[in-house]
Each structure stands twice: as C-alpha cells, then as structure tokens.
Amino acid sequence: MGSILDTVKNKQTNNITPTTTGGSIFRTVSGQISNQINEPQNKYLSGGFISDVADILGTGQYAITGGIESQLEKRGILRPSTTSGLKGGVKERKSNIGLLKRIGEETGKGGLLTGQYQPTQSVWGNFVRELPVTALGLAGDIMIDPLVVASKLGAVAKVTKTIGSAVKTGATAVASNMPAVQKIGDVLERLAITRGGQSEAFKLADKQRIINESLALEKTEKLVSDLIEAPSVIQQRMAQVLKGGILHEMIFVVWLNQFVRNLMLLVKQLQR
Amino acid sequence: MAEPIRQELDAVGEAITKVNPKLLSEETFLANKGTYLGNFFTKYIAPTEETRISTEALARGRKARIPTKEFTQRKDFAENIIEKVGDFFKLSSKDKQIVINATRDKDLPSLGGKLQKIRSDVENILERGQVTINDLKFQTSARRLSQIINERVRKSVGLIEEGGLPAAFSLQKGQLGLVRSKFFKELVDKGSVIDIPDETFRFQLPDSAQLGEATGKFVNRADYDAIMKTIMPDDGLTKLWKDGLRFWKTSKIAYNPSTIARNDLTNFLILNPLGGVGPHRLDIYYKTVKEFYEGGELWQRFRKVGGGLSSQSRGELIAKATELYKKNSNIRQQFKKVEDFHKAVVNFYGNQDTFFKFSNFIKGIMNDGLSDFAAMKRANFYLVDYSEVPKVVEWMRNSPIGAPFISFTYGVSLPLAKTLLERPDKLSAYFKILRAMQSLGADQTIDESILPENLKDQPYSALQMPFKDEFGRPQFIDMRYILPFNILEPTSIANNTLGSIPGISQFGQNPVMQFFGGILTNTNPYTGKKIVPDGSTPGEAIMAVIDYVQKIILPSLAPGIPTRVQGQTKIGGFGLEKLKSAIEKHPDFAGRERSVPKTLFDVLGGIKIQPVDLELQQRLQNSELKKQFEELRSQAVRTQLSKTMTKEEKEKELARLRQKVFELAQQLKERTK
C-alpha cells in the first residue's frame, strides 16, 4: 500500500516502471497508465463546450491539414510521424500554422513564412516575426476548410432547412392527429416564441402602434418642452390661455409687464 | 408657446372624435374646443415620493384611462353645491335656523314639506364633509359657499396653476388615446377582432371606451393577452418590483463601463459582422456617426421604422415635467442634478445599441438593397432587440426568481443559432482567428495541466496572450466575459452558483438569489469564498455581510460603506475593490495580482487579463495531488479492513478508488510529460 507515494514520485521524474504484481490496486493502476504513455494524445473534443463546438466545426480542416501533412511525409519533404493523416489531424487539431512551422523546422526553408527566425529577448520583435506564418497559416486554415465551401454554396443551409422542414411537417402531422399535442404545441408557441400565436395582422399593427406611440410622445415632448421649462409666472399665464381664460394676444402684454418689472429691478440694483 | 400646444390639443381631440367617438364625442369636443385644459392637482399628479410609493404599492391593475377626462368638460368641485343648497339660502333666517337645528339633532321629527326636503339636501351635503354647519350659518349665498368650497378643496389637493405639467399630461394622454384608437380600428378593419366568437376567436375584450369599435368583441388568445397587457398596467407591487429591478439592472450595466465596453466589443466583433457589417466597414461606421449626430435623412428613416425609440419616453416626459414643476414649487429640487446625471448615463448606454443597429440599418439600405422595414428587422435580429422577447423570457427577466439579464442571452442566441445553421463557416472562422492569435506567442510553452481550473483546456474561451507580463508570467484573456461565450460556457464564477450547465447560471445573477443564496450558504457566488470567514467575531460577521450585500446592490465602481473583513478594508463595488487592490499591490478578491493599467483595462475596458504564476501553480497542484493520493490511500485501507462491508461491496468500492487513482495519476502524467 505504501507504494503509492513512490509511484507518484516516480511519475514526477517521468520514470514509470510498470508493475502489475504485488497485490496493490495502486500498482495495477500505475501499470495501466504506463502502457498508455506513448499513445498520441487525443485533443479533439477534450476542452469545454465552446472548444467542442470549435472542434466539430473545424473537423474538416483538421483532417485535411493532417492529410496534407501525411502527403508531405510520404514525399519525403517531412520526416515520418505517427500523428499525421486524416485521423491524426483531427485527433491533434492540426493547423496550417503548425504545419508551416514544421516545414520550416525540418527543411529550413521559407524564412518568416514558415516561422524561421531566431527568437530574441524582444517580445515585440518575436511577435512581429510570428505574424507572417500566422497569417499565412490562418488563411490556409480558412481556405482549405470544406465547411467554407459547403456554406458558401448554400449546401449547409439547404441541409438544415430540409431537416427543419421535415421536423416541422412531422410535428404538424402529429399535432393534427393528436389534439393534446396540438394544445401543448400552442402553449409552447405562445410562451417560447416572440409574439407566438398572434395573427400576422395583429403583429404588424401592434409593432406599428409601438412605433407610433413613441413618435407621438416625442412630438409631445418637443411641443411642451419650452413650456415646462418656463418660469412659474409664464406657465401660469400660459395655463390661462390654454384654458381660454385670457386671449392669446394678451400674452404679449403680460410678457411686457414682466419685462418692465424685471428691468426696473435691474435698474434699482444698478443704482445701489 | 401656447399656440402650437393649443392647436395640437384641438387636432388630437378632433382626430379622436373621428376614429373613436366612444372616447370623445364630437359634441363634447366642439363644446370645449379652443379652451380646454384639464385641472390637475399636486396630490394626484405630483405627489411626494413617499406618497407615490405607498399609493402605487396599493394600486390594483385596472384599465388605463386614456384619455377620457382629458377632453371633457372641466368641472368645479362645488358645482352641485349651488344646486343642492340653493333653496336653503332662499329661506328666511328663522327657517334657516329650523333646518340647522333639525340637521344638528337627528332625533327631531320630520319637518314636513319643503323644509324637510331642504333638510335632507343639507344633511346630504354635510355628510360629504365638504360643508360644515358654520358654513351654512355664516355664508350669505350658495354661490359664495361654492367659491369657498372650491378654494378649500383646491388648497387641499393643490391645484396646479402652471400650464407645463397639465399640458404635457393632456397632450400625451390624448396622443396615446389617438394612436391606440387607430390601432384598435385597424384590428377591426383587418379582421383580427370579430363580432361572433368561434373556436379560435373566443376571448372577449372588455367594455372599455378606449377599445373603440373593438369593445366587447372577440380575439384569439395570444392577441387578447397582448391587448390586455397594453390596456392594463401592472398592479402596484409588480410595478414597484419592476421599477426596482430596472434600477438595479441599470446600476449594474449602464453604470458599469466594463459591461458597456464588452457589449460594444460583442456588437462590433461578433453580432454586427454576423448581420453583414464587418469590423472593416469603417465607411459604414463613419456614415453612421455623421447621420447620428446630424439627424440626417437616414436617421429620420431609421426612426420611422422604430429605430432608436426609447421605450421609457412615456414616463420620462411626465417625470421631467413633474420634476420641473416641483422645482418651480421648490419641492425636492436637490435631486434634480442627480436625476439629470442618471438620465445622461442611461441615454449614453442606450445610444450604444442604437448606434450599432443604425449602422446595420444603413448597410441594409445602402449596400444590400433592403427596404427600411426589412433593414430594421435585420438590425433588430442581429443586434439584441430587448423589446421583442417571448413570454417566458419576459417572465424570467422580470421575476424575483428569474434571470434578469436573460434577454441579452436570448437576443444573442438567435443570430448565433441562425449562423450556426446557415453559415457555420463564419463561426468557424472566429475560432480559427482565436487559435491563430494564441499561436503568436509561440515562444511560450505552457503545461496546461498546472493552470487554474478556469483556464485549463479552454483554447478559445481562455485565450493565451502572445506577451508575458512584467514578471515573466504568461497571461490569459478570459473571453467568457467579453464575447457571448458566457451563454455556452459559464465563467468560473457561475460555477460557484448554479453549476456549469449553460444558461442555468443566468439565474445566479438574480439579486434575490444572490442575496438569499449567499447568506444561506455563506458562500459568495462570485468568488466561491466564505462570506463570513471562519472564526469571525459577531462584529466582523456583520461587516462581512454588509460588504457582501452592498456589492450586490452597488454599481461596480461605486463607493460603499467601508467595512473591514479579514484585516482588509473593503470600500465598495467590485471594480473599485479591484482598483484599490492594484494600487495597494495586493491580490484582489479573486486572488489575482495585477498592475494598475491592467486593472483599469478590466474595470473600464471590460477585458480581463489574468497573469498566471506557473511556479506557484505547480507547487499548489503538487501539494493538492499529494493530499488527494493520501486521502484515497486511507479510504482504501479503511475499505479493506472494514468489518461491515461484504466482499462484493469492498470490491466495488476498491474499483471506484482505483479509478480515482488512475485519474490522478493521469493528471500527473500530463504534468510531467
């Protein structure tokens, strides 16, 4: 039983000794581990959810990159490896950036386009030198991806549309034969779809109503903003006009009166 | 100043008489044309904040009165007084006294005839409380009495003599009444509302003048719900809750520069490009800025199809008019500046979304040949339209147990899902770009297994930067804070609340859940640490809880009540705490040691750059791994020596432990490879 810590220590020094005897469950396990240590690492679908989505979308590109790598190995441009080929490309999430760098490393050709440079202490210097190989590799990743071709030709949209239509037709058929399903469908539509269940005429009219209400309110704001910001005295006079208490023409007299009064106050203050 | 308002009031009134005579008859309108402006009172329209809250809390949802009384005859309070007690003042002094005595003493027998009728009228008036016996005794005429009562009531409810607020109120209600009357008429004309119910159209609309021709008619269920929502405002408590929640959300979004920056990045780099406006289209953005500030033709067209319209403008105008009225009346003017600032912040935030939608609209019109309506529809689809969400999303964003920010998540999910189904290559290209960015730091090789959990095995959501920091530590950008990645993959913070199920973590952002969840479990859902540390004194515990609660409430950069927790002084929101830690060169609440510029980049720019000390991580994890092995070893010994377990149970348990050891050993293998 005490061998567990020894096993851990051994592993820390990367010095694993397969031991399948001795009766300890821990020794048995360490044997199993050591047998797997030389297998290529499977990175595909090994990250979080987003990483898995990226892997699924990038599968075609990974495979083709692996395939290109394998061809380069077969033609002797690159040294043989166990991780190339369609399957290896997917497993290792192969990228053309990595492939270009490998070409550079193994052939010494390509200069900055294959990442051939002597790293320096300058972070910016290294960064700038990495740009050509990264840009070229990225362009390669995008261009050789069969998903790009399929999407641009509309094939992906066609497939998903066909599947969607089939599901919809099936669901409608089931719902029309089973009232309970229809009811559940109606409730779900009302709850989970924006404006679900509303008639088309209603949707249009209601959207227009919302816009019209906002525009009308803005118009109101423009009309009344001067009045609501006016001094109390002016507002009181305006209220009288709006209520029909005094004629609109009299406003000038009121304003003149106010003006003269203010002028007098100003003169008094100046005199002091 | 008054003339355009007068004309608009008359125009609106006249239009209503034509579209919906039930709301305003032609006779009533003509009788008051050119003179009408309703009487409004401080007590009802501009109450103190305390009165408003208590009144609203008790209010029950009822049909909105739009506009009914705004265009009908103005009435005096005491108009019927003259009618009721007119005969009393015609009596002789002696008879007046008899009537007064009779009303004072209820046991007195009927006076009979005319005097008895007058006695009943007087009793009736007295019961209403507007008139006292002394008024009857000392006033000389019914008209005089009427004037006194009018003055008295006006004083008690505060007649607003200034024209601004009443004009704003009347015009606004009139406009709403007109728009809605036209809307209901259109529904009737287009057959969305029918007279005789059938299997689908079986929900009867209520009797209400504002429904016009649609009153009492039948609609389908979904249309009925929408109409009732339009004409029935929320009841008092719901409204108070929604107002409070909206205010809290504003404090967490509009007052948080990092959130605004992150939303802008998402719009600029993801959503607008998916909708057709790539980051390289600087020409479109230039045109957008120009039109936006000049209010040009495209801007006007954008507005006409609903772009950039504030959903809160209805309340805002009246609030502004009320506030200005109060200012004139010297009531609560000290809050004016605060409210102006708040409004400016909210507008600034709202303008960000409007800007991106407008740019998409311009591209739709100018480059893609779309109609105004289609361009607006596209802009609303790709750049979140908060006003149009399904019922379940609306419930979730407003519910005390819901997910307050779900509408952003929902809004972002739709264009992402559409792109995934129709043009997955676009999304795939993003991932490739992110991966390429990481490869720029080729001189850095990092053993992933020793990274903190939230950065481990996340090649896209935890992006390794090509540069190390000043201490030679590798740095990561947590993309789950920037892009809509958090929809699919919660941050480590969310893991501490409701698990790592995508979407579910949204519920952990609810302030009620945060409060009760945090207090009940004594765990801060943001940091996963204990709110009240072990061994705290009662005083320290109170301080810790205050610090936790104020962090839930306060905007990120706002100062709060200073508290002292575990020997450290806490001063307010999360952003402020981060800045303080950076200035003092201490690890922040999440254990990050960052420089001031990097922290500013986070709290103002929304980009979280996290340096990782690899040596420290290695030591921590080795020590952790050793502990776990020790624990498994003791469990295995206990299992093997157990007297109560059967042989099969022991084998099963040992197999489980074996698997655990296997997993741990694999981790170690990864690390030492």
pLDDT per position as a tens digit, B128-155:
666 777 777 777 777 777 777 777 776 7
Name the DSSP letter for residue A41.
P
Omega of the bond prior to B67 within 30 degrees of 0, cis? yes
Query: For position B276, what pLDDT does the model report?
Result: 92
pLDDT computed for residue A4 by the predictor? 38
pLDDT of residue B333 exceeding 70: no
pLDDT at A32: 43
Q: Provide the percentage of residues in chain A whose pLDDT is more than 70.
A: 80
Question: Least CA distance to B631: which residue of chain A?
Answer: A4
CB atoms A13 and B672 under 8 Å: yes
Q: What is the mean pLDDT of residues A55-63?
A: 95
Which chain A residues are closer than 8 Å to B435 by Cβ?
Answer: 54, 95, 97, 141
Contacts of A212 in chain B (CB under 8 A): 179, 182-183
Task: Give the model's pLDDT for residue A15.
Answer: 37
pTM: 0.75
Distance from CA of A39 to the nearest CA of B (A): 12
Q: Are the C-beta atoms of residues B206 and B233 closer than 8 Å to each other?
A: no
Q: Which carries the bigger pLDDT value, residue B361 or residue B488?
A: B361
Please answer whether residues A60 and A146 qualify as being in contact, where contact means their C-beta atoms are separated by less than 8 angstroms.
yes
List B residues 301-320 in contact with A (Cβ-Cβ < 8 A).
303-306, 309-311, 313-314, 317, 320
Q: What's the complex ipTM?
A: 0.74
What are the residue boundaries of the structural domains of chain B, listed by start? 2-73+160-231, 238-308+348-388, 444-613, 615-672
* Closest CA–CA distance from residue B95 to any residue of chain A (Å): 39
How many inter-chain contacts (A to B, CB under 8 Å) are there? 340
Burial of B402 (0-12, 13-18, 19+ CB in 10 A): buried
pLDDT tens-place string over residues B158-197:
777 777 788 888 888 888 889 999 999 999 999 888 888 8
Instruction: Show which of residues 566-585 on chain B sit within 8 Å of chain A, judged by CB atoms.
Output: none
**Cβ contact, residue pair A30, B665, below 8 Å:** yes
Locus of tokens 């962090």: B551
Question: Does A166 or B120 have the greater pLDDT score?
Answer: A166
Q: Between the CA of residue B525 and those of A48, A103, B401, B492, B529, what are the distances in Å?
A: 21, 48, 16, 10, 8
CB–CB of A201 and B191 under 8 A?
Answer: yes
B468 - beta bridge partners? B474
- Amino acid letter at B192? S
| Amino acid at the residue B481 | Y
Is B378 within 8 Å of B358 (Cβ atoms)?
A: no
| Minimum Cα–Cα distance from A221: chain B residue | B317
A211–chain B nearest CA distance, Å: 5
From B464, B473, B478, B455, select the one nearest B435 (Cα to Cα): B464
DSSP codes of every residue in B25-55 = -HHHHHHHTTT-----BHHHHS--HHHHHHH
pLDDT in the model for residue A267: 87
Cβ distance B395 to B403 under 8 Å?
Answer: no
Contacts of A224 (CB under 8 A, 6+ apart): B5, B164, B167, B168, B171, B317, B321
Tens digit of pLDDT for each residue in B251-300? 989 999 999 998 999 999 999 999 999 999 999 999 999 999 999 999 99
- Residues B88-111 have pLDDT tens digits of 777 777 887 888 887 777 777 777
pLDDT value at position B489? 64
Is B634 within 8 Å of B623 (Cβ atoms)? no
- pLDDT average, residue stretch B225-245: 86
Q: Which of A146-150, B331-335, B376-380 has the lowest mean pLDDT?
A: B331-335
pLDDT tens for residues A111-126?
A: 999 989 888 877 778 8
Identify any residues that bridge with B564 across adjacent strands, giving them in sequence order: B569
Tell me which chain B residues have a C-beta less than 8 angstroms from the C-beta of A237.
163
Q: Any residues with CB less than 8 A from the CB of A215 and at least 6 apart, and which?
A: B303, B304, B309
Closest residue by Cα to residue B497 from B517, B511, B478: B517
AA identity, residue B579? L
Return residues 115-144 of B near A (CB < 8 Å): none
* Per-residue pLDDT tens digits for B501-540: 555 667 777 888 888 888 888 888 777 778 888 888 888 8
Please give the share of chain B, as a percent, with pLDDT higher than 90: 22
Q: Are B493 and B506 in contact (CB under 8 A)?
A: no
Q: What is the pLDDT of residues B578-630, one digit of tens each?
A: 898 888 887 777 667 788 888 998 899 888 888 888 877 777 777 777 778 88
DSSP letter assigned to residue B267? I
**Chain A neighbors of B191, CB-CB under 8 A:** 201
Q: What is the mean pLDDT of residues B358-366?
A: 96
